[in-house]
Structure 1
Amino acid sequence: LRTMESFMPCPNASCVGGHFHEAGVAEPIFTCEVCKSKYCVACNAPWHKDMTCKEFARKRVVDEKKKVQEAKKRSRCYHQFCWVCLWSWTRIVQHDNHFHEPLCKQYRPRRDLQLPPIVTDPPVVTD
């Protein structure tokens, strides 16, 4: 299933779900059947109800700048973390960029990763 073009793995890093999304950007909302997270297929971001992808991207930039400024004000502990989403740098380095917050510009969904092949039992041969 995972090798089929219309199959969409859930972008949520902690979810193993996914579904077939044959409509593509014509119907941009992706709702994971397992974790119920909603994502936009057109801009590869969390679902942004009542906003175009362009409006959401602008809002995202403004929100990121606010987070960075707030984090810089509070940072005196010398712990390494992403200035945008505040996730621990150690965890991101160990597990890849899908461990950033989905709104972070450094975030990359899990679908960019190589998924292991699905193993099935060999057929039973009877005489």
Structure 2
Amino acid sequence: MKEECQICFELLPRHLFLQVTADCNHELDVCKLCVDKHIQAQLESKGNIEICCPSSGCKKELQHRDIKRIASKQAFERYDKLMLTQTLSKLPEFRWCKNSRCGAGQINFEGDASPIMTCESCGQKYCYTHDVPWHKGLTCSEYNNRKLGEDKATKSLLERETKSCPKCGVRITKNGGCDHMTCTVKHCKYEFCWLCFADYNEIRRNGNKSHRRTCKLYA
């Protein structure tokens, strides 16, 4: 006896249809090959381990045992690796190696009390507290102070060299030229005076009296 798969529409032997999860209560209407392809697509395109039954209207999530039972060996190994990665990433004591070519990671149970971590795979040293490559020559406290200084310098530079668009708030830079500015954000394109932020549509309609009185362009 043959059944039609609701995904590939092939007429296939009944034994190729299976209950996807223990919680599924619908007809066995998707073949094993299509379920396997569905699992692979979710893993490859989204890196998603929360995979639901592909049967129309069914939202039951496949468990580890379901993936192992249905998926190909390659797909299951991919799923297992993603599950391990996501589980480790949720552990507060776990840190990934900061060597971009490594991909290993480890747990530091001593935490901030022992911030220098050395990757057991490649030997890269990195900081547990700040989750960055080890700041050689600086304690964590000194690194904090330097980072704070850099952040303040960046903020000061932004305030000195850029201004926020009065409409969308995105900071933009003026590279010479006149004081008639147009926001560079595609969906905004607001036109304003760089000196006093006056709306340039108002200036076009009413002339320079639309500038603020404190603006040198006011007339």
Which range, TM-score by smaller chain? 0.3 to 0.5
Q: Normalization by structure 1: what TM-score?
A: 0.41
Q: Normalization by structure 2: what TM-score?
A: 0.27
Flag the structure with higher helix content.
2
> Which structure has the larger Rg?
2
User: Could you say which structure has the greater relative contact order, defined with CA pairs below 8 angstroms and 6 or more residues apart?
Assistant: 1
